[in-house]
């Protein structure tokens, strides 16, 4: 049976108390308008992408944002589609054999993610966003964004966080999209005993979209119960000892269960190089810390690292579809240190396991939940 890795609970109310203290401080930013940018479309699926274009949001400017037109056409970064990845769906084909690297096989990497335009520095520090429809584009942010508004879009932007998170959506708000952006931090300079916790966190019950983003350093990079995570490159997670005096458990994607909506994890490269002695948890961690895990799609991803590469939701999990994923051996022979998958509930209603393979082409068969 799989070895269960102990980890601290993923409890948002506790984090909310800590974050509330920070909400009172907000430094200003440069309010000069950005020049018209040649890449202004909000979404621009490249060849091999699995996500459809989304509708442009309203662009309500305020004194701190430039809001250039969001309707012009754009040219995407090229995406490689060789080696067993379908250009139409962005998912590995059933004939996939060995894959040498994510980019060589059509998965996201540094070339196909992150900003597409020149950036302008904005030393925002902690910034609370309270304007519905706000568009942040072309910024090089030193700080973090705390979203208290609906339909906010962060696009073609770099965030170097000095906070617990890079972007955080508060309860009661919806419509957040983070696209074609880089979210990172400086190892050893974060608030959690030198560490940083969440690149993108969703404290509410509405879905958010994170697409074509380059994410690194954060312990639990993409943290949410519901959302649409597609075409992202999560890598170089930095281990750290947290304020509790323990190695922070690290995950490229983490969900704590009890979610109201659906979590879609599609066509991402999700790497967790953390060693087993330094808190490695999963590349994708579906944990029942806050309730039953349900309604999750994990499709067409390149997954590597962690104690187990995928934690599958445990007993009681339902509606979990894991299909067409490549479990890479780049960190461990079995993808994760102890194996590719743990705590898979094969008997759960709506649970599907299909066409998941190691990067050398071998099929992956999950062990049952304990």
Q: Kindly tell me the burial class for residue 307, based on how many C-beta atoms sit within 10 Å of its own C-beta (0-12, 13-18, 19 or more).
A: buried
* 3-class state of residue 21 by DSSP: helix
* 3-class state of residue 317 by DSSP: coil
> Taking Cα atoms as reference points, which of 84, 109, 107 lies closest to residue 355?
84
For 11, how many CA atoms within 13 A lie in the half-sphere containing its CB? 7
Buried-state track 231-270, b at ≥16 Cβ within 10 A, e below 16: bbbbbbbbbbebeeeebbbbbbbbbbbebebebbbbbbbb
The predicted structure's pLDDT at residue 262: 96
Buried-state track 3-40, b at ≥16 Cβ within 10 A, e below 16: eebebeebebeebeeebeebeeebeebeeeebeebebb
pLDDT, one tens digit for every residue, the chain (370 residues) = 443 344 444 444 444 434 443 443 333 333 333 333 334 344 433 334 455 444 344 333 333 443 333 333 333 343 333 333 333 334 444 334 577 789 888 999 999 999 999 999 999 999 999 999 999 999 999 999 999 999 999 999 999 998 989 999 999 999 999 999 999 998 888 777 667 789 999 998 999 999 999 999 998 999 999 999 999 999 999 876 778 887 677 899 999 888 889 999 999 999 999 877 877 778 999 998 888 999 999 999 999 999 999 999 988 999 999 999 999 999 999 999 999 999 999 999 999 999 999 999 999 999 766 5
Whether the full predicted model's pTM is greater than 0.85, yes or no, is no
> Taking Cα atoms as reference points, which of 99, 31, 137, 79 lies closest to residue 324?
99
Buried-state track 324-360, b at ≥16 Cβ within 10 A, e below 16: bbbbbbebbebbbbbbbbbbbbeebeebebebbbbbe
The predicted structure's pLDDT at residue 97: 53
Q: How far apart are the C-alpha atoms of 25 and 31, rounded to whole Å?
A: 18
Q: What is the DSSP letter of 38?
A: S
CB 307 within 8 A of CB 5: yes
Pairing of strands 198-202, 220-223: parallel
Q: How far apart are the C-alpha atoms of 326 and 323, rounded to whole Å?
A: 9
The predicted structure's pLDDT at residue 243: 81
Residue whose tokens read 């008997």: 347
The predicted structure's pLDDT at residue 208: 97
């Amino acid at each position: 049976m799989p070895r269960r890795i102990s980890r601290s609970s993923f409890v948002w109310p506790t984090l909310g108390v800590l974050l509330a203290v920070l909400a009172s401080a907000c430094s200003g930013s440069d309010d000069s308008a950005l020049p018209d940018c040649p890449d202004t479309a909000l979404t621009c699926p490249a060849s091999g992408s699995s996500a459809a274009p989304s509708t442009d949001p309203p662009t309500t400017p305020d004194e701190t944002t430039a809001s250039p037109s969001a309707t012009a056409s754009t040219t995407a970064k090229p995406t490689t589609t060789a080696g067993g990845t379908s250009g139409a769906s962005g998912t590995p084909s059933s004939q996939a054999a060995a894959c040498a690297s994510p980019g060589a096989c059509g998965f996201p990497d540094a070339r196909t993610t992150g900003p597409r335009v020149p950036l302008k520095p904005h030393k925002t520090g902690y910034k609370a966003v309270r304007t519905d429809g706000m568009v942040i584009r072309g910024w090089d942010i030193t700080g973090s964004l705390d979203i208290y508004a609906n339909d906010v879009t962060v696009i073609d932007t770099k965030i170097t966080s000095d906070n617990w998170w890079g972007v955080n959506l508060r309860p009661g708000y919806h419509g957040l999209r983070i696209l074609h952006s880089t979210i990172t931090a400086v190892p050893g300079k974060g608030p959690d005993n030198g560490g940083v916790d969440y690149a993108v966190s969703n404290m509410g019950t509405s879905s958010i979209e994170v697409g074509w983003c380059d994410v690194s350093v954060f312990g639990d990079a993409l943290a949410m119960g519901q959302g649409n995570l597609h075409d992202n490159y999560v890598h170089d997670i930095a281990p750290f000892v947290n304020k509790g005096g323990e190695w922070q458990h690290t995950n490229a994607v983490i969900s704590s269960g009890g979610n109201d909506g659906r979590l879609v994890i599609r066509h991402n490269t999700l790497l967790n190089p953390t060693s087993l002695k330094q808190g490695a948890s999963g590349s994708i961690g579906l944990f029942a810390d806050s309730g039953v895990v349900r309604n999750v799609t994990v499709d067409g991803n390149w997954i590597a690292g962690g104690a187990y590469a995928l934690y599958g939701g445990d007993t009681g999990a339902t509606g979990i579809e894991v299909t067409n994923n490549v479990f890479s051996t780049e960190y461990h022979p079995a993808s994760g240190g102890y194996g590719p998958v743990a705590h898979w509930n094969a008997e759960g209603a709506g649970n599907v396991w299909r066409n998941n393979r190691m990067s050398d082409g071998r099929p992956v068969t999950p062990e049952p939940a304990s």
